[in-house]
Amino acid sequence: MLMSEPSIYVDGDITQYIGRIQAFPMLSQEDEVKLAKNWYESHDMKAAHKLITSHLRFVVKIAMKFKNYGLSLMEMIMEGNIGLIHSVKKFNPNLGFRFSTYAIWWIKASIKEYILRSWSFVKIGTTQAQRKLFFSLRKTKRKILGCTGNGTLVKEEVKLIADECSVSEQDVIEMNDRLMCRDKSLNSLIGDSSDRELQDIIPSHQPNQEAIYTEKEEQQLRSNILNAAFSTLDERARDILTSRHLNGKNETLETLSKRYSVSKERIRQIEEQAIAKIKKFVRSKQESF
């Protein structure tokens, strides 16, 4: 173990934990590189500590993507923190990669291993294709069917998913059934002799601090991705897209054609190409997470 840090291993609810880790400052890229080199070259424990604590929010964000597996979010975060620690131990800053880019692999791997252990995955199979299907089935169902769905798949849907994931149709059927087993009816009785149903004790769904924090983080992430996508456009394309859609004026093709001394059709083409480029950039970033 790289270190034993009370701020990483805590008891309590998720809101308290998020409140605690927000106290750790984010690092600039320059500071991140400097700390990583101090740890790599001199095993400076203070540098390692700062690297870890500054990325705890990153672990929470990743763990939230696995919250639909019916497991404790806090336990998944703790597993992700273990992956984060391993990533610090293994990271070589001289290779030129950002630490966060490297750490995400270790964090996801630790969380996935925990989920697989918790789901007794060995009862289904342990091939690489099956492991991949376990984590991609919901996403694939959303992509192909438009929703994750909780019911039995029809034959045509099974075939589409099997082709998309490069697995057998039987693997898709068994994995879908396995994931459905974790769903519990809201009308289920609490205990053998109780007449109360599960839905009777479900707490209020008013947004809590975790939900508010997560929403803000997701909004910030979307904003950052969009800004990054915009920066890939040249100055003319940015101006045309902004003038047409983002500054509230909704300028016409004719106005912009006069400004740039080109035809209206050329303005339309530049606009369409810019939108397509932004969509491609955003899609690539979303898929990476």
pLDDT per residue over 27-45, tens digit each?
A: 998 999 999 999 999 999 9
Contacts of 57 (CB under 8 A, 6+ apart): 18, 21, 22, 24, 26, 217
- Topology of the domain comprising 210-287: Arc Repressor Mutant, subunit A (1.10.10)
User: Which tokens in the block code for residue 225?
Assistant: 């991705």
DSSP H helical ranges for 43-196: 45-53, 56-64, 73-90, 99-118, 128-145, 155-165, 169-180
How is 135-149 classified by DSSP, letter by letter? Answer: HHHHHHHHHHHSS--
Terminal Cα-to-Cα distance of the chain (whole angstroms): 27
pLDDT, residue 65, reads 86
More confident residue, 115 or 248: 115
Residue 250 corresponds to which tokens in the numbers above? 């909704």
Say if residues 73 and 63 touch (Cβ distance below 8 Å): yes
pLDDT > 70: percent of the chain: 69
- Helix, strand, coil percentages (3-state) for the chain, rounded to 5, are 70, 0, 30
pLDDT of residue 180: 63
Q: Which DSSP string do the residues of 167-183 spell out, in sequence order?
A: S-HHHHHHHHHHHHTT-
Q: Model pTM? A: 0.48
Question: In the chain, pLDDT over 90 holds for what percent of residues?
Answer: 22
Region 252-264 average pLDDT? 91
- Residue-wise pLDDT tens digits, 94-103: 887 888 888 8
Q: Per residue in 205-238, pLDDT tens? A: 445 544 555 566 667 667 777 778 888 889 999 8
pLDDT at 175 over 50: yes
Which 3 state secondary structure label does DSSP give 269? helix
What are the pLDDT digits (tens) for 64-109? 888 877 778 888 899 999 999 999 998 888 887 888 888 888 998 8
CATH topology of domain 14-118: Four Helix Bundle (Hemerythrin (Met), subunit A) (1.20.120)
Residue 37 corresponds to which tokens in the numbers above?
């080199």
User: What tokens does 48 get?
Assistant: 């390692």
Domain boundaries, the chain: 14-118, 121-193, 210-287
